[in-house]
Structure 1
Amino acid sequence: MRIRAIDARYGGASHDSFVFSLSSYRRNLEQKWNDGDRRSWLLGDSGYTLEPWMMTPYRTAQEGGREEHFNTIHSKCRNIVERTIGVVKSRFRCILGARQLHYSPEKCIQIANVCAALHNICKKFAVPDVPVVETIEGDEHEVAASNLNQLSNIAAEIRNQIKDIL
């Protein structure tokens, strides 16, 4: 439950996939792919674009089929991300309602970064997590699938190979 990367420069209305598309982390994964790394993947929800380095769930998985099985395991693996966000928001209540921080955007970015760093320090020194506070989030915005290009086809093939191994 350690935070490996954070980018708080965009407002809460920005979808995670939009932030990721502009991130240096994405460019790094793409570069690793171009350099021949075929074993580095992130797991993203259905709002992300399927890429060789970003595995997303199948949108129309047949019930009881291998695609549904892939989606189930994919979801269980991604669950840690949501749990980590819940723990951080509960531990640092000032960001629980981050849309209401009464500071400049630059200060809010600093607050988010410091909360992430302090969370990682707490994990390193085994500080117990605080109970997670339930929050009501906005609806996830589905990002429409764009025209399939060569990388999308390669990514779909990789995802199918993983599905077939499971």
Structure 2
Amino acid sequence: MGPARGFKKRRRPEKKADAAVKAAADLDSGDWWDEFSERITGPLSLSKEAGRFESVLKISRKAFNYICSLVREDLITKTSNFTFSNGQQMSINDQVAIALRRLNSGDSLLSIGLSFGLNHSTVSQVTWRFVEAIEERGIHHLQWPNSEQELEMIKSKFEKMQGLPNCCGAIDSTHIMMCLPAADASNKVWLDPEKNHSMVMQAIVDPNMRFRDIVTGWPGSMSEFSVLRSSGFFKLCEKGARLKRKKMTELGGPEIGEYIVGDSAFPLLPWLITPYQGKELSESMKRFNNKHLSTRMVAQRALTKFKDTWRILQGEMWRPDKNRLPRIILVCCVLHNIIIDMGDEEGGATSAANCHDMSYKQQICSFSDKDGVPARDKLSQYLSSRLPP
């Protein structure tokens, strides 16, 4: 995984997923929510669904229990005196629920505090401790496939989509808005092409919309090519340490190496296949572009779902800490994957538009590696050869 800038990972024993699932089964899931939901006040309490767990926290009870089991040890070991307005001390479940509400609602610290009878500073501290705990205990949910069998399953699913063989992922980027004072000259670097202050997030996803590699922390002024080139994933691929194996697609046919697909904002490389550009395209090129588009749409859907679910990242964040924001983005990516890994259907609906960067124009990268052109042509040739006579 490409690390989020500003995140320094500390070494700790990794809690395995199966152990965490077992621990989740031991959590008290009965009376806690009834008591917690009674604390809800303000506009949220007026909703018809205010008493329904999934409508407030946007995840299933199963996923919530699992998340609590992941962070329980870290939250217990940190001294805390977090209490509600009546003096009652917060449980681990309380802290996780408040943090999740802060991340998935997009509401301000003050609004969240009013909803649960807390000071806004307490909401901030609870959320940040939760972010730190997920960084340590949940990061194994966000990683590149670590076995040949897992990677083969991914390639098989991609091929079933539109017939693209040996495809290992789809890449895309999105902008996380920030509200920064325009008068401060130092903030100009964060101005993106649409004149918004933003931070870039680049993601490579699998067919199930699970994030497999992310890079964030770079200012919105950087192009998608520049962000890619700065990533650990790029360096590994260029060294031949990733996406290096090759496969004969058929006897006597072209040899096609492993690759990911991306739109025209990315460079054409031997391991990153982008669509054909230009107006005068042959029929085979047009067919290739259509299949390529349908395949890479999984990345657009993933980022749209991601920003729809974790709404703290959807709007403009006022004066965000530029070191903490990448870590919040990373944790939301981990939570996105946990929801998928748990088979959760409550992780937020995907916008029908599948557009995670509204009003942003398509960037165009003119760079083509000398080995990228024949790699794309071989793939196009293979797809044409599979057409019925």
> How does the TM-score come out when normalised to structure 1?
0.85
Q: If each structure's helix is expressed as a fraction of its own residues, which one has the higher value? A: 1
Distance 1:101 1:90, change over 3 A: farther
- In 1, the alpha carbon distance for the partners of 2:340 and 2:362 equals 28
The structure-2 alpha-carbon separation of the partners of 1:132 and 1:5, relative to structure 1 and needing over 3 Å to count, comes to: same
Structure 1 position 32 matched with structure 2 position 237: no
1:85 aligns with 2:303: yes
Offset at residue 61 of structure 1 (A): 5.7
The CA deviation at 1:84 is: 0.2
Report if the CA contact (8 A) 1:94-1:101 is conserved. Answer: no
| Alpha-carbon spacing, 1:160–1:33, altered in 2? closer, same or farther (3 Å) | farther
Residue 8, structure 1, aligned to residue 216, structure 2: yes
8 Å contact kept, 2:259–2:270: yes
Alignment check: 8 A CA contact 2:243 2:271 kept: no
Distance 1:157 1:88 in 2: 34
1:115 aligned residue (332, 338, 344): 332
Deviations 1:45-103 (A, max 9, x none): 11211111110100026456101111111101110000000111011111112x43542
Superposition RMSD in Å: 2.3
Residues in 2 aligned to 1:18 and 1:101: alpha-carbon distance in whole angstroms = 26
Tell me the CA shift for residue 126 of structure 1: 1.1
Letter in 1 for 2:232: S
- CA distance in structure 1 between the aligned counterparts of 2:265 and 2:348, rounded to whole angstroms: 29
Q: Out of 290, 296, 309, which is 1:72 matched to? A: 290
Structure 1 counterpart of 2:361, which letter?
D
Amino acid at match of 1:108: L
1:96 matched to 2:304? The reply is: no
Q: CA 1:35–1:49 in structure 2 vs 1: closer, same or farther (change >3 Å)?
A: closer
Contact residue 55 and residue 155 of structure 1 kept, 8 A: yes
Gaps in structure 2 of 5+ consecutive residues: 1-208, 247-256, 384-389
Instruction: Identify which of structures 1 and 2 has the higher relative contact order when contacts are C-alpha pairs closer than 8 Å and 6+ apart.
Output: 1
Q: Supply the AA of the counterpart residue of 2:325.
A: C
- The one-letter amino acid of 1:123's match is I
Is 1:153 the equivalent of 2:367?
A: no
1:35 and 1:78 mapped to 2: Cα distance? Answer: 17
Structure 2 contact 243–259 (Cα < 8 Å) conserved: no
SS in 2 for 1:5: strand
- Tell me if structure 2 keeps the 8 A contact 1:52–1:158: yes
Report the structure number with the largest CA radius of gyration: 2
Work out the number of aligned pairs and report it: 160
Q: CA deviation at 1:29?
A: 1.2
SS across alignment from 1:105: coil
What is the CA-CA distance between 1:155 and the residue it aligns to?
A: 1.4
Q: Structure 1: which 5+ runs fail to align? A: none
1:138 aligns with 2:355: no
**Which amino acid in the other structure matches residue 131 of structure 1?**
A
TM-score norm. by structure 2 comes to: 0.38
